Structure 1
Amino acid sequence: MTKNKTAYKTGLALPIQYLKNIGPKRALYLKRIGVETIEDFLFLVPRRYIDRTKISKIRELTTGQHGSVYGKIIATGTRKTKAKGNIVRIVVTDQTDILEAVWFNRPDLKSGFKTNQPVILSGNVTYYERKQMVNPFYEIITEDSDSDKSFVYTGSIIPIYPLTEGLSNWEIRRPMQNAINSYLHLIPESLSHSILNQYSFPTIKNTITNLHFPKNLIDAQIGQERLKFEEFFYLELILALRKLAQSCQQKGYTLPEKGFITSKFLKLLPFQLTQGQNKVLSQIKADMAKPTSMNRLLQGDVGSGKTVIAVYAMLIAIENAFQAALMAPTEILAEQHYLVWHDKLKELGIDSCLLTSSTKTAQRKSYLADIQTNKIKIIFGTHALIEQDIKFHKLGLAIIDEQHRFGVMQRAALINKGINPDFLVMTATPIPRTLQMTLYGDLEISVLAEKPPGRKRIITRLTTDKERDKIYKFIQDKITEVRQVYIVCPLIEESEKLDLKAAIKTYEQTSKIFAQFRVGLVHGKLKSSERINIMEQFRRHELDILVTTTVIEVGVDIANATVMVIEHPERFGLAQLHQLRGRIGRGQETSYCILIGPDSSFAPAMHRLKFFEQNDDGFLLAEKDLEIRGPGQLLGTRQHGLPDLRFADLTEDRALLFKARDEAFALIDADPNLSKPENQIIRSTFLSKFKDRTELLRVG
């Protein structure tokens, strides 16, 4: 929980080592699980609970099932083996049968068990000469009424905490009562009475008590739900306030479409816009015509045609005598945008330029002068666009491509190059609804679901190394048909630990195998000019095969490339695999994505890769990726300037998220300044949590 000045005065921020029964050594173990203060300790949520009323008799245990038993230790022993290290074992009986419990590599347990001690064991039941549990949870029961331990066992519900080596469940539960007795009264209420009443949530003090010493499982569950709701509520409150700040901000520019450039632009295109593209354009046009700044997220699956919409929006800004800038995360992507659109913009009489860290000094100086005098009206670039010496004449539209790769302050820096310019962010990474409501809850969202007509579905096949000869024959056939091929590897340098194919090694092997063809190599350690040159060679079909790392993950659009081979696909997330696959299937020909995966013994990866093989819906894959990898790895919540989730889970707790969002947005609608007496608890809690995070309210 948040540490504030009040906490330091009251003792909630007291280092945990000073709590009775903790000390310096246990404090180090607790630090490993994120506990450094009394407040952290009180908010340490158990992973699960054991209901002592549902403890089984040993004779009732079934192999392969999870069970909990209560019995007495009748034998103990330890031994050391080369293969499995220290082995600690005990034998327990409850008069109905005996059960052996075994722990591997836990030398700290050697002196922990004594015969005739009562003990609770909980774990999966196996059979080896007798019924057995391997590495089970254990709790030694102390019935000494004079001991300060006895309080722990008076209830029927036992909380099981997240642990680390050297720390037992009992060593957490024993001092927890001390923390509750001495410090619980210092934790202020953080939800209003109306919210507590509406959802039948307990007070914060009852919540903490019920987490650690519940009378029943329902009390424990309600306590956890309250903490999850509260976490979502304050996160959504940030987004509601962001949205309010944007609507109340200094007026932006009114940029209506005038048509004298955009109509010519449409005639230059070799295709017609899809119904979906026209719908999204209507939303963007309506935003730009308003006197307040546009703040919109455009998400579209790979190959759905987002960039043409971005260019159209930039032309609306030009029609109104403003400039527009598009910032991309990589030089390859920025270069591609520039090369694809530069000539068409020139036909419209509009000068554009490309600004990256590789732009030569003299050229850069010339560009900066032309940008400042409005000679150059559209600027494509990378992070180089936000360098201090770049001054726009009149920036009316700022666009960020693949925006999840930029941090909060980078996005703010681009916006600050103008005075409240319209702001459009784009992503080809489909965003699950739960992430839309958290990371992007302050933005208006446009979704581009359909792909341009005529594009065929990409055929995806999951195979193994045994099929490599067939794959090579297939590649040879496709190149003979005048098609091009990507071979994607996850790392540049060989790693014995991960046993991955290195791109350099794969390039050398590929060059030998396909000696009759032209093979190129591109990776992140090449100089930018070299990377761009190689990509241009591939684009001009001066190369047949491109061995590459994930530098081609986003934006690269070469219609003649119809085959992609991905080495070690188990090392990629589903969303990243989908982005890679999206580099092919850009033309009218059937395309093929071949995954050379691990053998079937690697079950978790194979299950995920099978799901990828059978699905090409980016939104479905994004939901699955969120479920498997969590939001942090999927998009990086810290990049968005939002607090990490400690109690709630975006996948499992969606219903609570929706309720919390409704409450937060309704509250800000009714009381924007949180000034009403009944909302003072929320106001003070919000300021306490986020008083040092003012950027949360500034940048979407």
Structure 2
Amino acid sequence: MFNRPVTALKYVGPRKASCLNKLGILTVGDLLWHFPRRYEDRRQLKELAAAAAGEIITVQVTIRAWEERELRPNLRLFRALIQDRQGTGYALWFNQPYIKRQLRAGSEVILTGKVNYRGYIPELQVNDYEAIGQGDKGLHTGRIVPFYPLTTGISQRWLRLVVYRTLEEMEGGIPELLPPSLCQRYRLLNRYQALKYIHFPPDPGALHQARRRLKYEELLIWELALTLSRWQREAAVRGIAHTPDNELVHRFLAALPFNLTGAQERVLAEILADMEEPRPMARLLQGDVGSGKTVVAAAAMVKSIAGGWQAALMAPTEVLAEQHGQTLQKILAPLEVPVAILTGSTPRPEREAILAGLDTGAVPLVVGTHALIQENVSFKALGLVVIDEQHRFGVGQRAALQAKGQAPDLLVMTATPIPRTLALAVYGDLDVSLLDELPPGRQPVSTHILTEKQRSKAYRLIRREIENGHQAYVICPLIEESDSIAAEAAMAMAKKLQEEIFPQYTVGLVHGRLKAAEKEEVMKAFREGKIAILVATTVVEVGVDVPNATVILIEGAERLGLAQLHQLRGRVGRGAAASYCLLITNSSEAARERLAVLASSQDGFAIAEADLRLRGPGEFFGTRQHGLPEFRLASLPGDGRILEQARQDARMICREKLWQQPEYRDLYLAAREKMSCLQL
């Protein structure tokens, strides 16, 4: 029944169906799951004489007489004399000539609108109306009234009527998706009641129960799809049981010039144990800025190599891939493990040598960008795939690299602290390891919010730090000038700083339009201290490690999310010296309050939670991508408790194989259908 086209419904002809299609409503099911965006409580009737000017009220009145007049071309007033028990007033409509036919003199009506006074006479500018006894079932007034997302050609009154008639028609015909045991455990409304009350709630309590039931159903289907996907993947293939001998890993760790933190040791133990299991590892490694994820990943790659397998690390940008490659080359040098770097800018002769080495196994470890998933890249024995900043990759790219081997282990890393609720929703098919401890000696970064008038203070601080032998970043969101955005662009800023502000120092520039070789040349000069001030776009957001940099100035800070600003702030404070983050903004007080969250906290997870609440999941990640859940009703992090319960129930259903029971069959089929939409 849900899959019937909307044209099968009364009142829906081809023209209306075309309008509904623009809202994503193609079937009866789409219509019933097109939920109201807000509600107005119009249950309390008021007397005209008791209304205050500017108040929106609902009244029950009798139409006594009509008049109409043209106020100006294309603007016609229709005014009705109305009467209730306390007195008389007027009801106003504009450019609605049909209203006189629908609400004839002598008819009883319920009106909702805004009250104004002409002298002592109340006038009601009508928003909605309903004639008593004309069959609209009280959909528009005298109740809690739903308001839907609309498009041209669709009115609230018409859509309410169609949804109401559809619910009437389908009473008793909407199949239950959740098994009775779950409905009873959580005291959930049945599916028909939930749909009826979310569209036409008799009271706020019924609306709350309807939303609770439908959110749980939505989140349970999602979590069950994730859990089934992982269960199916693990059952389908046998993974690599890596060698339990960790001698080479211990040699690697012993050669490091520092000791691992307690968090690094704990997480590494989780990963190494996972790799020794005969099922493919699927693990998310989360850690705040500077928590040491790369070293942990390097140890995992050493374990893979020790057993004769290859390892690959894929990063989203060439700058980050080069950074990772050079870091691994340095820390793996004592083991004499060769590390290749493969990007779109790798020279052809070098590229061909790397490809041959991967094919024969002579290259045990490769770091690269999307170049790693090209068709001509083949591995002799790929045993471990590491993905850095997974959310920056498009559909299927994670799977494409895994497909280069026979069920290799997977380690997904992110330097963006992801709130638990979002991690469950986006990475529910992965186990999670958390680096929640920073290496000793790391100092908090002092963060300050400055206006344009205070720019000179920022420049004085930068000058002081450079004179003390340190370096600075200046971050601009854009590359070119734009009249619509106040923030100065990177190229213009670099020129201004070099020629007018800091002519005695070397100013470098890096942005996304530079060729990879040019970027690396600038970054190398900055790392070596040959550049005092690096002007950059957000290409330096993650991975860039220059311990001597102690100041970062961010232009137009209000245009970036808190999580992204926290990542940028993490470019400094990587050495022992005191460091500073300067946020330049001339935006609203609300924007400054948002930035104050960053200034008052060094906790990436607390900042990420605030960012998620303020901007939502899609914008939290910087771009809306396939694989990021866009729920019809549930929202994160607000519905985190429901999500947690749904995850537990989904795992219980799979663990006990309840999906084989008849009462779980429809739920299982819904989850299977959802699986086809996931990025796995």
Please give the TM-score of this superposition, normalised by the length of structure 2.
0.89
Once residues 244 and 172 of structure 1 are traced to their aligned partners in structure 2, the CA distance between those partners, rounded to angstroms, is 42
Q: 1:675 aligns with which of 645, 660, 664?
A: 660
Please say if residues 100 and 130 of structure 1, whose CA atoms lie closer than 8 Å, have aligned partners that are also in contact: no
Report what 2:424 is aligned to.
437
Matches within 5 A, 1:403-418: 403-418=390-405
User: Partner amino acid for 2:59?
Assistant: Y
Q: How many residues align?
A: 671
Instruction: Name the SS for the 2:6 alignment partner.
Output: coil
1:544 equivalent to 2:507? Answer no
Q: 2:44 aligns with which of 44, 54, 57?
A: 54
Change (3 A) 1:636 1:496: closer
Report what 2:635 is aligned to.
649
User: Partner amino acid for 1:449?
Assistant: D
Report what 1:553 is aligned to.
541
Change (3 A) 1:239 1:691: closer
Once residues 131 and 652 of structure 1 are traced to their aligned partners in structure 2, the CA distance between those partners, rounded to angstroms, is 46
Residue 395 of structure 1: how far off its partner (Å) = 1.3
Alpha-carbon displacement from aligned partner over 1:512-534 (angstroms, at most 9, x marks no partner): 22222111111111111111111
Instruction: Name the SS for the 1:296 alignment partner.
Output: strand
Once residues 99 and 523 of structure 1 are traced to their aligned partners in structure 2, the CA distance between those partners, rounded to angstroms, is 66
Alpha-carbon displacement from aligned partner over 1:28-50 (angstroms, at most 9, x marks no partner): 55445443433222222223433
Once residues 596 and 77 of structure 2 are traced to their aligned partners in structure 1, the CA distance between those partners, rounded to angstroms, is 40
User: Partner amino acid for 1:656?
Assistant: I
Change (3 A) 1:394 1:48: same
Instruction: Name the SS for the 1:272 alignment partner.
Output: coil
Report what 2:112 is aligned to.
121
Matches within 5 A, 1:93-172: 118=109, 120-121=111-112, 138-143=127-132, 145=133, 147-150=134-137, 152=139, 156-164=143-151, 167-172=154-159
Report what 1:38 is aligned to.
28
1:174 equivalent to 2:165? Answer no
Residue 245 of structure 1: how far off its partner (Å) = 2.5
Report what 1:566 is aligned to.
554
Q: 2:506 aligns with which of 511, 518, 540?
A: 518
User: Partner amino acid for 1:649?
Assistant: S
User: Partner amino acid for 1:44?
Assistant: H
Instruction: Name the SS for the 1:54 alignment partner.
Output: coil
Alpha-carbon displacement from aligned partner over 1:575-599 (angstroms, at most 9, x marks no partner): 1111111111111111111011124
Once residues 78 and 452 of structure 1 are traced to their aligned partners in structure 2, the CA distance between those partners, rounded to angstroms, is 77
Instruction: Name the SS for the 1:558 alignment partner.
Output: coil
Report what 1:394 is aligned to.
381
Change (3 A) 1:547 1:294: same
Once residues 560 and 468 of structure 1 are traced to their aligned partners in structure 2, the CA distance between those partners, rounded to angstroms, is 23
Please say if residues 419 and 608 of structure 2, whose CA atoms lie closer than 8 Å, have aligned partners that are also in contact: yes
1:690 equivalent to 2:677? Answer no
Once residues 401 and 529 of structure 2 are traced to their aligned partners in structure 1, the CA distance between those partners, rounded to angstroms, is 36
Of residues 649-658 and 562-571 in structure 1, the stretch that sits farther from structure 2 once superposed is 649-658
Please give the TM-score of this superposition, normalised by the length of structure 1.
0.87
Once residues 250 and 96 of structure 1 are traced to their aligned partners in structure 2, the CA distance between those partners, rounded to angstroms, is 79
Once residues 190 and 288 of structure 1 are traced to their aligned partners in structure 2, the CA distance between those partners, rounded to angstroms, is 38
Alpha-carbon displacement from aligned partner over 1:537-573 (angstroms, at most 9, x marks no partner): 1111111111111111111111111111111111111
Report what 1:583 is aligned to.
571
Change (3 A) 1:150 1:276: closer
Please say if residues 491 and 503 of structure 1, whose CA atoms lie closer than 8 Å, have aligned partners that are also in contact: yes
Report what 1:528 is aligned to.
516
Report what 2:224 is aligned to.
237
Once residues 87 and 306 of structure 1 are traced to their aligned partners in structure 2, the CA distance between those partners, rounded to angstroms, is 69
Change (3 A) 1:141 1:251: same
User: Partner amino acid for 1:677?
Assistant: P
Matches within 5 A, 1:293-304: 293-304=280-291
Q: 2:607 aligns with which of 597, 621, 640?
A: 621
Instruction: Name the SS for the 1:141 alignment partner.
Output: strand
Please say if residues 475 and 535 of structure 2, whose CA atoms lie closer than 8 Å, have aligned partners that are also in contact: yes
Alpha-carbon displacement from aligned partner over 1:413-432 (angstroms, at most 9, x marks no partner): 11111111111110011111
1:210 equivalent to 2:197? Answer yes
Change (3 A) 1:94 1:148: closer
Instruction: Name the SS for the 1:595 alignment partner.
Output: strand
Residue 665 of structure 1: how far off its partner (Å) = 1.6
Once residues 86 and 216 of structure 2 are traced to their aligned partners in structure 1, the CA distance between those partners, rounded to angstroms, is 45
Please say if residues 256 and 285 of structure 1, whose CA atoms lie closer than 8 Å, have aligned partners that are also in contact: no
Q: 2:58 aligns with which of 66, 69, 77?
A: 69
Alpha-carbon displacement from aligned partner over 1:468-494 (angstroms, at most 9, x marks no partner): 122222222221112111111112233
Q: 1:610 aligns with which of 596, 599, 612?
A: 596
Please say if residues 78 and 110 of structure 1, whose CA atoms lie closer than 8 Å, have aligned partners that are also in contact: no
Report what 2:467 is aligned to.
480
User: Partner amino acid for 1:567?
Assistant: E
Of residues 203-212 and 426-435 in structure 1, the stretch that sits farther from structure 2 once superposed is 203-212
Once residues 156 and 221 of structure 2 are traced to their aligned partners in structure 1, the CA distance between those partners, rounded to angstroms, is 31
What percent identity do the matched residue pairs reach? 39
Matches within 5 A, 1:197-596: 197-256=184-243, 258-512=245-499, 513-596=501-584
Once residues 633 and 261 of structure 2 are traced to their aligned partners in structure 1, the CA distance between those partners, rounded to angstroms, is 43
Change (3 A) 1:503 1:638: closer
User: Partner amino acid for 1:440?
Assistant: Y
Alpha-carbon displacement from aligned partner over 1:178-204 (angstroms, at most 9, x marks no partner): 323445665433222222232232332
Report what 1:3 is aligned to.
none
Please say if residues 282 and 409 of structure 2, whose CA atoms lie closer than 8 Å, have aligned partners that are also in contact: yes
User: Partner amino acid for 1:311?
Assistant: A
Q: 1:662 aligns with which of 635, 648, 669?
A: 648
Change (3 A) 1:122 1:635: farther
Please say if residues 58 and 141 of structure 2, whose CA atoms lie closer than 8 Å, have aligned partners that are also in contact: no
Instruction: Name the SS for the 2:223 alignment partner.
Output: helix
User: Partner amino acid for 1:140?
Assistant: Y
Once residues 71 and 526 of structure 2 are traced to their aligned partners in structure 1, the CA distance between those partners, rounded to angstroms, is 63
Report what 2:6 is aligned to.
14
Instruction: Name the SS for the 1:261 alignment partner.
Output: helix
Change (3 A) 1:263 1:78: farther
Instruction: Name the SS for the 1:632 alignment partner.
Output: helix
Please say if residues 171 and 192 of structure 2, whose CA atoms lie closer than 8 Å, have aligned partners that are also in contact: yes
Once residues 546 and 102 of structure 1 are traced to their aligned partners in structure 2, the CA distance between those partners, rounded to angstroms, is 64
Of residues 476-485 and 71-80 in structure 1, the stretch that sits farther from structure 2 once superposed is 71-80
User: Partner amino acid for 1:662?
Assistant: Q
Once residues 608 and 102 of structure 1 are traced to their aligned partners in structure 2, the CA distance between those partners, rounded to angstroms, is 43
Once residues 216 and 540 of structure 1 are traced to their aligned partners in structure 2, the CA distance between those partners, rounded to angstroms, is 68
Please say if residues 235 and 642 of structure 1, whose CA atoms lie closer than 8 Å, have aligned partners that are also in contact: no
Change (3 A) 1:685 1:242: closer
Residue 22 of structure 1: how far off its partner (Å) = 4.6
User: Partner amino acid for 2:619?
Assistant: Q
User: Partner amino acid for 1:156?
Assistant: R
Please say if residues 220 and 647 of structure 2, whose CA atoms lie closer than 8 Å, have aligned partners that are also in contact: yes
Once residues 287 and 400 of structure 1 are traced to their aligned partners in structure 2, the CA distance between those partners, rounded to angstroms, is 17
Instruction: Name the SS for the 2:566 alignment partner.
Output: helix
Please say if residues 236 and 438 of structure 1, whose CA atoms lie closer than 8 Å, have aligned partners that are also in contact: yes
Please say if residues 6 and 17 of structure 2, whose CA atoms lie closer than 8 Å, have aligned partners that are also in contact: no
The unaligned stretches of length 5 or more in structure 1 are 1-5
The unaligned stretches of length 5 or more in structure 2 are none
Change (3 A) 1:631 1:77: farther
Please say if residues 422 and 637 of structure 2, whose CA atoms lie closer than 8 Å, have aligned partners that are also in contact: no
Please say if residues 631 and 637 of structure 1, whose CA atoms lie closer than 8 Å, have aligned partners that are also in contact: no
Change (3 A) 1:406 1:543: same
